Structure 1
Amino acid sequence: MHESLRRLASEEVMVERGDMRRVRVELLDGDHVSVDVHRRANGGDLLDKVCDNLDIVEKDFFGLLHLQRGDPRVWLDLNRRLSKTFRNEPWDVRLAVKFYPPEPSEVKDDNTRYQLSLAVRRDLLEGRLQCSNITHALLASYVLQAELGDREGPTSLSSIRAVPLHAINEEFEAQVDELYAKHKGQTPAEAELNYLDNAKKLSLYGSELHCVRDSEEVDLVLAVNSHGISIYRDGVLMNRIPWAKISKISYNKREFRLRLRPSECDEFETHVSFKLSSTRACKKLWRCSVEHHMFFRRWEPVPVEVIPGLRRLGLRRLSCRRTLRQIRDSNECAPVA
């Protein structure tokens, strides 16, 4: 009898373990943690679990990246089961900020702001965000204040991963130390907020970059962010299209299309199109644009309509659970501690 119970208990443990999957998560500070989720869990369940472990309250700004066919920046579909995205364990994902708040001061939770500052620091380190040397020094000085506080004497920039190693020299370190001395007395939360208030002024702050070509086969970069879609050529801003100007976003195979509302001087709508390297890249740009428009412009998430008879178009699911306006409304209604 006792042997039968032990055998039954061991079988139940095996079944329980068999229902769980191991996920390896890279955090914004570069550390790795392992998370166990149910095999039927979707991307949203995993994101909630990671944010809960890090005590992140405002989860809707964040997402999870994974590697897909050589592309390291593919966002995990929060509505899709993880087992349909990954095959071999451990499943590897990377925590990242998906929607950068245009006003970091509106972020109520200090830990959320800290994670946001880590994301900006990573963007600078990996080259997705560019700035001048003096701005780089100012941002690094706020990182030192947040990490070390009112510390006297020389500091090591390489140890806190504030700027790329190739940018560090004696002149740059002297600039940082001079600025760092002016922040004396600031708390870590105040220094992080000042860091973000200066970072938000950068032209590529919070931008998702996509390589495209225009009708004349000229290489361009489209930057999708909270304000709209910006067009860059050789690092120079050529045009900025705000969300209010865009009436429709669509794609067909490798062609990405924007329909623009007429201005005061125009009588008809304008159509702008770009070419991408593949249908997959084009769909990625379309999804990024629609999700950003939905998050920053809509009152609430709107599902993409399924076209009858075209089942494939029904797969255009979007990973946006709450919009920025819903987050603001919930923060305003939240009781003051």
Structure 2
Amino acid sequence: MQCTVTLLDDAQFECELDKHAKGQELFMQVCDHLNLLEKDYFGLANWETPTSKTWLDPSKEIRKQVPGAVYEFTFNVKFYPPDPAQLTEDLTRYYLCLQLRKDIIRGTLPCSFVTLSLLGSYTAQSELGEYDPEIHGTDYVKELNLATGQTQELEEKVMELHRTYRSMSPAQADMLFLENAKKLAMYGVDLHQAKDLEGVDIMLGVCSSGLMVYKDKLRINRFPWPKVLKISYKRSSFFIKIRPSEQEQYESTIGFKLPNYKASKKLWKVCVEHHTFFRVSTVEPPSSRRFLALGSKFRYSGRTQAQTRQASAEIVRPAPRFTRSASKRLSRNLDGVVGMQKGTRPVSAPVFSQAALAEAGIPVALDQPQTSTPIKTSRKEERKLEVTVETVEPPKTETAAEVKVFEFSNHYPLTRSFCNTIPMKPQEDLLRHHASISELKRNFMESVPEARPSEWDKRLSTHSPFRTLGINGQPPTQGCGMSCAAHACV
């Protein structure tokens, strides 16, 4: 049985397997080929349509999951980590960056012009290295495929930001890329087409924090995993049972209509896998007492996020040295038509000029291989490199209790949704500006505003026996009324 897997850098991996081989055997061969140890975040997908995929079940035979005799799959990120900084190896973060770049180009990860420019500058730093006018020239970003229908304005903004980076390794550029990409609203959301009970077209999104409902590309509802008691499906209908809130007394069930039975079951499987991976500490082996049990026997059989982090902490091998392959390039012919072609030069590390290395005081070694190196920086230095963000929706504290269907004991913080802003000034000026703003805020909070005398205080003389002093020797304001919570009364 001949199997073909398209990797994240668009390379082809082919292997010959037995006709009774299971999905786990093919997945392990792909991970061994990529030298990937943190493999639990990834999976193999079979694309039925350009927008619909089905994940390959590692516990079942491949030929029973794929219709026809053509076994073609793609290697993709299945579980997007809420905090990519907790990944141990640079190789894992690099593959996650490749997946997110594909999501942006495909349109499943929408972002604003500001965020797209920032992410594009980190992509240029990772693939092209530090800017050098002798090497890159003027319009060097035109070769990179950053977004669908990218404009000249976007390319100019990416080059403007890229020219400000100094002594930034490819691993650091990938880390900054992930730190900003994880704050996007659609980061790691697996979308499924559905309809509500009134027949209105909606999209159901499954992610690490729960189940989301979208309408016209806007989120209209959210069901976190701690509030979900049960998920089920029947024919083409999908149901979720919600835990009652403080104001409610009974549980509520919400139903959705999916295109067919297969789509409903696929959504149910995705929900079970995401809930088990992100919310459960360990996976219990399937019970043998299911002779007369009803319902599906499907259970997530892989390692959970907690087990993956524990295994990643025990990795003792040196940082793997890998070649960073060039992304797909944009080629423009004489008619102005934009085409796609593979880059001719694989980029494994940033290309630093001799002058830049001399200015930084770094000795130049002509025979030194250029590969990515692990980042070992303090949290303060990482904070300096991050971009200022503004919270859109702060998560509310939720009380977690025992779930009927999914028994779990581990609780993970929900992913926040952020709106990125881009630095328009050099990094030193930006840090100095932030420090001055913080100092102004601190002085404002520490200062006590002087109380203005009212008309009644002006009429009273200073030695009047009816006049009393308030806090800090200041005369009290007019009657307390409804504002007694804001000041103390004597």
TM-score range, shorter chain: 0.7 to 0.9
Kindly tell me: are residues 154 and 336 of structure 1, through their superposed partners in 2, closer, same or farther at Cα, counting changes over 3 Å? same
Larger radius of gyration: 2
Alignment partners' CA distance in 1, 2:250 and 2:161 = 52
Matches within 5 A, 1:129-140: 129-140=109-120
Q: Does 1:203 align with 2:185?
A: yes
Equivalence for 2:303: 322
Corresponding residue for residue 162 of structure 1: 146
Aligned equivalents of 1:114, 1:318: Cα separation in 2: 30
Please name the residue that 2:268 is paired with. Answer: 286
- CA deviations on 1:112-149 (whole Å, 9 max, x unpaired) are 11111101011111111111011111111100101111
* Cα offset, 1:195, TM superposition: 0.5
Q: CA deviation at 1:181?
A: 1.9
**Greater RCO between the two (CA within 8 Å, min separation 6)?**
2
Mapping for residues 266-281 of structure 1, pairs under 5 Å? 266-281=248-263
Looking at structure 2, the residues matched to 74 and 126 of structure 1 have their Cα atoms a distance apart, in angstroms, of: 17
- Residue 18 of structure 1 aligns with which residue? none
1:123 to 103, 112, 124: 103
- Where 1:259 maps in the other structure, the secondary structure is strand
Task: Give the corresponding residue for 2:80.
Answer: 100
CA contact (8 A) 2:211 2:225 kept: yes
- Aligned residue for 1:175, secondary structure, equals helix
Give me the whole-angstrom Cα distance separating, in 2, the residues matched to 1:222 and 1:86. 25
Amino acid at match of 1:218: V
Aligned residues of 1:295 and 1:320 also touching (Cα < 8 A):
no
1: CA distance, partners of 2:268 / 2:171: 36
- Name the aligned partner's letter for residue 322 of structure 1: R
Q: Given the alignment of the two structures, is residue 218 of structure 1 paired with residue 218 of structure 2, yes or no? A: no
Does the 8 Å contact 1:245/1:261 carry over to 2?
Answer: yes
Deviations 1:44-86 (A, max 9, x none): 1111110110111111001111134887411111111113234
In the other structure, the counterpart of 2:15 is 35
Secondary structure at the aligned position of 1:205 is classed as coil
Q: Does 1:60 align with 2:40?
A: yes
Q: Aligned letter for 2:145?
A: R
Per the alignment, residue 82 of structure 1 pairs with 62
Q: Contact conserved, 2:141 with 2:159, CA < 8 A, in 1? A: no
Q: What's the offset of the Cα at 1:334? A: 4.2
Give the match for residue 263 of structure 1: 245
| Structure 2 counterparts to residues 236-251 of structure 1, below 5 A | 236-251=218-233
More helix by share: 1
User: By how many angstroms is 1:336 displaced?
Assistant: 8.2
Q: Is the 8 A contact 2:272 2:300 kept in 1?
A: no
* Inter-CA distance 126–196: structure 2 relative to 1 (3 Å threshold): same
Partners of 2:115 and 2:175 in 1: how far apart?
15
Going by fraction, where is strand more abundant, 1 or 2? 1
Tell me the distance in 2 between the aligned counterparts of 1:247 and 1:62.
Answer: 27
Post-superposition offset of 1:329? 1.9
- The residue aligned with 1:109 is 89
Match of 1:232 among 214, 217, 237: 214
How far residue 111 of structure 1 moved from its aligned partner, in angstroms, is 0.9
Q: Within 1, Cα distance between the matches of 2:30 and 2:315?
A: 23
Q: Distance in 2 between matches of 1:199 and 1:112?
A: 15
Distance 1:199 1:304, change over 3 A: farther
- The question of whether the paired residues in 2 share the 8 Å contact of 1:212 and 1:274 is answered with yes
Deviations 1:132-189 (A, max 9, x none): 011111111100101111122335445333322x1x2221111111111232211111
SS at match of 1:210: strand
Cα distance in structure 1, aligned partners of 2:276 and 2:89 = 23
Relative to structure 1, is the Cα distance of residues 307 and 70 closer, same or farther in structure 2, using a 3 angstrom cutoff? farther
**How far apart are 1:304 and its partner, in Å?**
6.9
Q: TM-score, normalised by structure 1?
A: 0.87
Preserved CA contact (<8 Å) 1:149 1:184: no
Q: In the alignment, is the contact (CA less than 8 A) between 1:142 and 1:183 conserved in 2? A: no
The Cα offsets for residues 10-57 of structure 1, whole Å up to 9 and x where unpaired, read as: xxxxxxxxxxx2111111122222122232321111111101101111
**Larger displacement relative to structure 2 (146-155 or 130-139):** 146-155
SS of 2:58's equivalent? coil
Q: How many Å separate the matches in 1 of 2:49 and 2:190?
A: 19
TM-score (structure 2 length as normaliser): 0.61
Q: Which runs of 5+ in 2 are unaligned?
A: 319-490
How many angstroms apart in 1 are the aligned matches of 2:235 and 2:281?
30
Structure 2 CA distance for partners of 1:281 and 1:190, relative to 1, 3 Å: same
Q: Which runs of 5+ in 1 are unaligned?
A: 1-20
